[in-house]
Chains A and B, each alone.
Chain A
């Protein structure tokens, strides 16, 4: 399976702290994307990093990519209660391959 795997499966932090989630994948990729899913809803695209990029920022999000280790990390800085959601990485070949997700809880 080309599915990505996120780590940890669940993360609970206090509001204002930073949250870091990791993703490992198995095959070569064109790009890697992170999605967010609020409880009981569909997924929403957050950020994409291409295979020739090492780091990318978008607002409070910072994504890194290490193609030699086939891994990526998503950092959410200064977390808010509204960041509570599940976060998925997805690799993009002919299809999208999603990981199993990290469930983030931000405690107010």
Chain B
């Protein structure tokens, strides 16, 4: 089974702190994603990475950066945490479903990190 783990389930930080959220996967997937989930807004993509040292902005990258130094690890960084970054953060990978023909993909999610910024 694919396993995606996140370093913390719950995290409380102060405004202005630098925050690191770590995500590790054990299935050698090339693509990794960071989402945040807020009530009424669903999942919104912050950043994704399709290879080591490669990153792409998602829909809401402002206030965040990412690091992918190794294939299995994708880190989300809040340079200076703010209260509006209080949210549930979900890491995910992407893997193909089935073989041959037009490829479809499935996402595998970690358990989430609930971050509170006070």
Q: Is the interface of A mostly helix, strand, loop or mixed?
A: strand
Interface size on A, residues (CB 8 A): 23
CB-CB under 8 A for A41 and B104, given A95-B45, A98-B43: no
- What are 16 A-B pairs at a CB distance below 8 A? A30-B104, A33-B106, A35-B107, A41-B111, A42-B92, A43-B43, A43-B90, A44-B109, A45-B107, A45-B108, A48-B106, A92-B105, A96-B45, A96-B107, A98-B35, A101-B42
Whether the Cβ atoms of B107 and A40 lie closer than 8 Å is no
Contact with A along B16-43 (1 / 0, CB 8 A): 0000000000000000010100001111
Q: In the complex, A44→B109 CA distance in Å?
A: 7
Which of B41, B97, B108 is close to A100, meaning CB atoms less than 8 Å apart? B41
Q: Which residues on the B side are within 8 Å of A33 (C-beta)?
A: 106
Q: Is B58 an interface residue (CB 8 A)?
A: yes
Q: Which residues on the B side are within 8 Å of A35 (C-beta)?
A: 107
Q: Is B74 an interface residue (CB 8 A)?
A: no
Q: Is the interface of B mostly helix, strand, loop or mixed?
A: strand
Q: In the complex, A45→B107 CA distance in Å?
A: 7
Most buried by A among B4, B43, B102: B43
Cross-chain pair count, CB within 8 angstroms: 53
Instruction: List A38-56 residues whose CB lies under 8 Å from chain B.
Output: 40-45, 48, 50
Which of B4, B42, B48, B114 is close to A95, meaning CB atoms less than 8 Å apart? B48
Contact with B along A73-108 (1 / 0, CB 8 A): 000000000000000101010011011110000000
Which of B102, B104, B110 is close to A42, meaning CB atoms less than 8 Å apart? B110
Q: Is A67 an interface residue (CB 8 A)?
A: no
Whether the Cβ atoms of A48 and B104 lie closer than 8 Å is yes
